[in-house]
Amino acid sequence: MDPGYRDFATPRQLEFMDAIEKHRSAAEAGRALGVSAGAVAHSMTGLRKRAASMGFAPGHFKDGVAPGFKMGKVTVQRGRLGDVERTWERQSPDAAERERFLREFVEELAQRAQGAYEPTPAPVTATNDVLAVYCFGDPHFGLRAIADEAGEDFDLNEADRITRAAIDRLTHVAPSSRQALLINAGDSTHADNSTNRTRKSGAVLDVDGRHFQSVMVSAKAWVYAAERLLTKHEQVTVWILPGNHDDDTSFAVSMAISMYFHREPRVTVDVSASRFRYLRFGKVMIGANHGDGPKPKDLPLIMATDRPEDWGASLFKFIYVGHIHHDTVIEVQGVRVETLRTLAAKDAWHAGAGYRSMRDTRVIVHHRDYGEIERHTVSAAMLGV
């Protein structure tokens, strides 16, 4: 294989490449590594597709189409005698291949994570009467901002640092309760794939690093968050909601967290594809949605329709929403719908458009009989920004 593929390979794929080079065939490489030849070949095919999606596909014109792409429009230029002088091919990523690649990435990530975590003892002082809800609006891991044009610097390392620091502070001030809910309200990563464009509008995104790095750093940060919550709470539920920036990646991050904690009965990760999440705690009902679809005022009726039994059994109803990056609260027939700020900085476009929201995150404490009883806010300024 072309040595340029090494820049796009995972550590396991680098191991396969070295073995193939040493043993001269996938079959021999598989024997040396104790895996099947099919597993080696399948991994190398995935590598070629990943590299092609990032613009590296050496020699693909020999076969007509780059790995993971499909042929589109072909323009042919003919000479005066009708002979073909040149052609222009338009190839685009194949949707099925893109989905297959994402699932293969998740599977590989999960295999590497399995067995990494050992169950830990629950805190002995946890109370059954309160639920701590940790609310994070739109983290945007992978967003790149430069102070000269956006007013402040922000990158992947800063997103990781500020998220972990916020979790440390929030778990310090939150009460020790039996149950906790960690809500990531969507847009966990700034981009959903290596094209670095939003899916619906095609807007170009300012990104830091490669997409797979954003996925890995984001997943590790939320694993860290869940581990910290386990020091204060007996049971932890994790919601990584899909947003308009991370429709597919949100699922990958959820699966990575789920597989990391697959032997930890105290952690539950919601890996459903739904854009709406719900939980009932005594007389309290919690809902969440990213906010790029239905308007906030319409969410209470959707909650009532989706979960009629929980709706009827609860007196206090709350819905947490991301997407708009600033605080708003409306009350619709007794349901409090609250939009969340983000800890992420503004990118150049939003700074230029005049957006100036404050940056923070919070933990909201609900009593099973009385609804919300307290909240604690951690601002970006408190975290050294």
Instruction: State pLDDT tens for residues 12-51.
Output: 889 999 999 999 888 899 899 988 888 888 888 888 887 8
Q: Tell me what pLDDT residue 3 has.
A: 87
Q: Tell me what pLDDT residue 66 has.
A: 63
Instruction: State pLDDT tens for residues 173-198.
Output: 999 999 999 999 999 999 999 999 88
Which residue has tokens 């499909």? 70
Distance CA 167, CA 247 (A): 24
Q: Tell me what pLDDT residue 370 has.
A: 98
Distance CA 285, CA 357 (A): 28
Distance CA 269, CA 178 (A): 16
Integer Rg of the chain from CA = 24
Q: Decide if 9 contacts 20 (C-beta within 8 A).
A: no
CA atoms within a 13 Å half-sphere pointing along the CA-CB vector of 88: 2
Amino acid at 219: A
Q: Decide if 134 contacts 170 (C-beta within 8 A).
A: yes
Q: Tell me what pLDDT residue 109 has.
A: 59
Q: Tell me what pLDDT residue 335 has.
A: 98
Amino acid at 138: D
Regions of the chain where pLDDT drops below 50: 61-62
Q: Tell me what pLDDT residue 37 has.
A: 85
pTM: 0.72
Question: What is the average pLDDT value for the chain, to the nearest integer?
Answer: 88
* Nearest-5° Cα angle at 124, 118 to 126: 105
Distance CA 233, CA 373 (A): 18
